[in-house]
Structure 1
Amino acid sequence: MSEQEPLFIDGKDLPGFHSLLGYRQVSWEENEAVLELELQPRHLNLGGVIHGGVLTSLLDIVLAQAGTYCPYPGRMRKAITLSLTTTFTGQCSGGTIKVTGRKRAGGTRIFNSTGEVHDDRGNLLAIAEGTFRIRSGSDKPEGVPI
């Protein structure tokens, strides 16, 4: 993790939809981001295992973060998801999951990231691949004011 503290630390500090998920930012640096989520009953589907929408949402967030790190306090970079493919590989119903995203390639406006979700025993729950477009003003490292 870089010396710069992440923009959001835990679920209570997150805006909008992010607060509903309630994840915690573990690290965020150039080309990589990591989130953790302690599973609650609200994250489970009718079968009692983590909902695919929760996994997909977390992967969407962390893959976008992997390409939008901003080291400048009080500023941020933003991206729009162009495509996202998620493959579910496992299930869990409790504990803490770890979601990792890595930027793999890209130019000045478009980038690609991949990511994985693991449970607290190291089991792979989902993988994803996404393509994102940097929003106007976010193409420079200093981003835009929060």
Structure 2
Amino acid sequence: MSEAEQNLHITGGKDLPGFHNMLGYRQVSWEEDKAVIALDLRPEHLNLGGVIHGGVLSSLLDIVMAEAGTHCPYPGRMRKAITLTMTTTFTGQCSAGTITVTGIKRAGGTRIFNSTGEIHDDKGNLLAIAEGTFRIRSGSEKPEGVPI
């Protein structure tokens, strides 16, 4: 499946809502216990120093780590989680190109799970790492989730 087909499968052909759409990332892959998103950097993603803003990095890590524990194989539907805790360490900077964000579910039960995440620039440099604890939202416990 091509990247464009994967995006359509995941979102059911719809744009992601609200803040997700504003960030402008795209889903590269999403499977059980692992998610990958990518972002083509634009001027609005940069801080006053001209490098990617830590808030953008943190937001992307939060999204991908939650996705790692909420895979939904049904087009146009999703499972939802809320963040309970998240720790982020910034390890590098960049101001242009494409960044790739990977989240992996590490452990969990029926409602609570833990994930880790990493962000790399298009040269393979590590920009940030994170770990988080998430809770599955009510209605999202089953694989079919809820409509987007």
TM-score by length of 1: 0.92
Which residue matches 1:86?
88
The answer on whether the counterparts of 2:85 and 2:134 sit within 8 Å (CA) in structure 1 is: yes
Q: Where does residue 44 of structure 1 map in the other structure?
A: 46
Fraction of identical pairs, as percent: 82
Superposed, which structure 2 residues align to 1:58-73 within 5 Å?
Answer: 58-73=60-75
* Number of aligned residue pairs: 143
What's the CA shift for 1:89?
0.2
8 A Cα contact 2:66 2:81, kept in partner: yes
Decide whether aligned partners of structure 1 residues 8 and 64 sit closer, same or farther in structure 2, where only a CA change above 3 A counts. farther
1:84 shift after superposition: 0.6
Could you tell me how far apart the structure 1 residues matched to 2:74 and 2:100 are? Answer: 26
User: Structure 1: which 5+ residue stretches go unaligned?
Assistant: none
Question: SS where residue 50 of structure 1 aligns?
Answer: coil
2:28 paired residue number: 26
* Corresponding residue number in structure 2 for 1:6: 10
1:138 alignment partner AA: S
1:115-126 alignment, distance < 5 Å: 115-126=117-128
Match of 1:98 in 2: 100
Any unmatched runs of 5+ in structure 2?
none
Helix, strand or coil for the counterpart of 1:130? Answer: strand
Give the distance between the partners of 1:31 and 1:62, measured in 2 at CA: 11
Superposed CA RMSD in Å reads 1.8
Q: TM-score, normalised by structure 2?
A: 0.91
Contact 1:81 / 1:132 at 8 angstroms: preserved in 2?
Answer: yes
